[in-house]
Structure 1
Amino acid sequence: MKIRSMTATFGKLDHARLELGDGLNLIYAPNEGGKSTWAAFWKAMLYGIDTRDRDKKGYLADKNRYQPWSGAPMEGTMDLEWQGRDITLRRGPKGSAPFGAFSAVYTGTEEAVPGLTAANCGELLTGVGREVFERSAFIGSGGDLAVTAAPELERRIAALVSSGEEDVSYSQTEGRLREWLNRRKVNRSVGLIPRLEGELREVDQALEQLEELSGRIALLEGERTALSARRDLLAAERATHRRLAQRELDRRFAQAREELEAARSQLATLEGETAKYGPLPDKDLLKKAQGELQYLKVLDEELRQGEAARKEAEEVYVQAQIAAQDDRFPGMTWEEGVQAVQKALSDYNTGLATARVKGMASKLFPALGLLFALIAGVVGGVREGQLLSYPLYAGGFIFLLTLMAGFVNHTGRRAWEDRCAKLLERYRVQSPQELEELAQDYRRRCQAAEEAARQVRTIRGTLSDRQARRDNSRTDLLDFVHTFSPQVTDLFGCSAALSRGLNLDHELSLARERVEERRRRLDDLEAQGGGLPEPVGEAEPPARTPEETERALAETERRLAQTDQDLNQALGQRKAVGDPAALAARREELAAQLDRRQEEYRALAVALEALKEANAQLQQRFSPELNRLSGQYLARLTGQRYQSVALNRELEGAAARIEDVSPRNALFLSRGTADQLYLSVRLAVCGLCLPEKPPILLDDALAAFDDRRMVLALELLKELAREQQVLLFTCQRREGAALEGTSAVTRLEL
């Protein structure tokens, strides 16, 4: 068989394709490049995926580990050559099962390959089952080359012993004998012998149970007879209590009838008294009228308090009017007074500013005239050469004019100052600030008088409203009371009439309720069976009370029912246990079977011991052919350093050099040498036990080899690749360098 190509959606692979050639295929990929995923895909295409496998601590089942990272369904296709024909294998999802769908067709057609199914695909193509394939042609997956034992592999290796054929391995024979032995007895509770012993014990227990049940049935029948007699006695006692209870019920019925007649008579009396004063209004109306009466009392109190408040408010108003009068604001409101003060302040400020201007002018004009006269005298003296000259006369004249202007402005300033002083004097203040404060004080006094007047008006209006409401309420109340008490003339009479009406209404309600309650009680007693008493003979009351009698009777009936139930169960159990004669015959039969099975058990134990002794002798000659071929391969891989290999039935390997007296167990070898030992074993198994010569897949199997032994391993693989396809996955460049220039090697890089 040879692989032509593989296309996979598997783990990290997403529609990835791998084209392979004949002979040795060197496939390079770095770590996480997909080498182990391609190897797992190759095995899954052959043998499928075990959907029963589950995740464990530190371990992922293949169905979860290789779910496509892209989220697509797990599927793949493989083209290969088998028995001289090209075929195409396909696997994909089936429901929730990964790789559950399978097809095998001849390439280029859809013609199914006869006999090739999902279950037998791997075994037909490789010639071996999954266990042997994983321990032979599937090398180094996960970095572990060690070989473990498996029944199928052991059987195939055992067939290499001198006869060349062996249908059953030691482990299978030993397993079959142990299965037969365990079928008879595994421990104290499992197997044919313990089951027979259990059945024998059950028969003995059934015989004992029959004897116990017979005695119990006799006791229960006697107890049932005694309880039946006690139940009849208590039933008669209960009947006596019921007759006495009926007599008491009739007495209470007669008493209730008399009380109903008395209640009806009292109600008639109250209704007659009510008719004497006229029909009473409804109770709610009476209560509402009482509320109105109380409200009138409240209104009277409020009117008294309001009159006092009115007098107080009028006094406050008079005082506020007196305080608001001011001769500086005769007949003015506070708004007019404030406006007059504002105008006076404006005139004052204007006059004061004018006085300042005129005062400055009275000083500035003479100074300017004097300065002009001096300048004119200097100019005249300079130009005419004498002090008295025409410019000096002109300057003097102008000085006289400015002096007169200054006097006029001085006089005007005094006049304006007098006018401002008169404005302040009119309001009897000393400054404009005092004038402003006077206006504000006048406004506050006037506003206080207005507020007092408003308060007086409000209180008077409230008093008028309360007076009107009181008069109206009093009239309405008297009109209401006159409907059932026309003689009432004042509020005191209204209060008495309302109280009398409410009390009478309350008594009428109580009387009606009393009549209704007595009537219901009489109806209830009648419903209980009460009636007029009839003469009956005297009955002696039992010693127990009715409750005690009922409890005793109920307990007796319960015990009687339980006894009947227990008796029926005991009779049923005796019937279910079976016939004593049949049980005795069954016991004899079981004892005979037990003796026979115990004899078989002893014979199987002797046979198993003999098989172990024979196997110990065969251990000395376990598969010499496998040891021989493994030794040849190991010698080539180690450069003739190790010459022989020894394997036991557990496939634990040991290697020996020429100078060694005995072989060394793999545990004493270096990692690289141990990998070379087990690689030799796997290659030998491929050559001896795989008749179909399937491709050999090595996943980083040479990682622990040094450079020299790596070259030797490549030489061996090239030689094997002449007969069967070899797929060597590696994450290192040294294998490619060692095979540089070598023909018949297909080099791929993922």
Structure 2
Amino acid sequence: MTATFGKLQGRSLELGDGLNIIEAPNETGKSTWCAFLLSILYGVNSRERDRAGFIADKNRFAPWSGAAMSGRMDCGTELGELTLTRATRRQTSPMGEFSAVYAGTNEPVPGLTGAACGETLLGISREVFERSAFIRQNNLPISQDAELERRIAALISSGEEGTSYTEAADALKKQLNRRRHNRTGQLPALETELAELDRQLSESNSLARQLVQARSEVEALSRRAEILQAELTDCDRWEAAQRRQALSGAASAAEQAEVRAAQVQERLQQDQIPENETIARLRGAIVNLETTRRAVDKARSERDEAMKALLRAEAAVNESPFAGQSPESARREAAGTENEPVKWNPVPGVLTFLIGVPLCFVVTYAVLFLTGSHSKLLALLTMLAGFSCVCALALFLKKRAFQAGWAELRLKRFGTADLDAIRQLAEDYAKLCEARDAAQASVNAKSAAADTLYSSLSSNEQG
């Protein structure tokens, strides 16, 4: 044997006839050679998976160098000297490529395949080989296997190899499961089918009763239909008579209409009624006339509204204290009210002068008496001072009289004595004049438009 298997890297092992005992230290590959012998005969089980405490052979004996798992065995069998070879083409199928040829030739052994190699050469299956002849170093599988049971039965009984208790028990268990397993199996299916048939039978009976009831209803409805058909026939006859009567009346009306049409045609010829085209043209002219009339009414309405607006604007202008003036003259009048001559009261000034002059002499005498002086200069100064005070007081009273006169004049003229309010009245008057002029222009324009439309209406009416 030559193997690239586990720690074996192209190493070879030759066994002789009879019992071969291999003695070597630990970890030299004795168990690996045993596993290789099993794999070269029966192949590597690629469906095994690693689990707790167990490593599958495809992973456990993968070559340490990373090379593909492969091997060769030369052996003597009943078929002759053979050379068995296994190699790995796909990683998922280790040692899945099998070859069996006669030693020294390249002629394949007929009927010898990789799956049946061990059973063909040894006469037993892999399960029996692992549980009897192939004893591993640390364990021997003792689990049940149908093939092994058949072999044991063949040894201890009649030699029949086709009977296995496990297979019989499994077959019986499968038969029981097929009949009933919890809610599945043939019996629950038959029970379900029976229940379904009972339900269908109940529905059939219900449908049968409904059919009987429906047939009775059909008979009643058939009789009702016959009665209605008879009534319908009578109605059809009555409607036919009504149609004949209406047709007769329509024929009489048609004859009368033909007579009236002939009379109207004759009258049209006598009265020389215009043609349809002329009538259509006249109808269009009438429509245009109505449109023009509505436009005239609208223009007059707009003119009337403009007149009303003009009257309102003129009334607002006439209500102003500056009525009748131009905006510029109104502004000038508002700015020059203090320069107008006014009537003022001279009595306070005159009384002040008449009383003040004698009072000046009295004051001068009193000053000279109190001072005990006979100075003419002091008397003259005192007289001048008193006379100045009297004149100043008289002028002040005159100014106040003038201001009171102007205030009375403004209040009477404008309703207020405030100059700013009077100037604002002048500005408002200017705006009212502008609004009046605009209203007058609008009245003129709309009056002209109304007159134009009215002239067009008159000509259209004459036409």
- Normalised by the length of structure 1, the TM-score is 0.26
Which has the greater radius of gyration?
Answer: 2
Which structure is richer in relative contact order (CA contacts within 8 A, separation 6 or more)? 1
- Normalised by the length of structure 2, the TM-score is 0.41
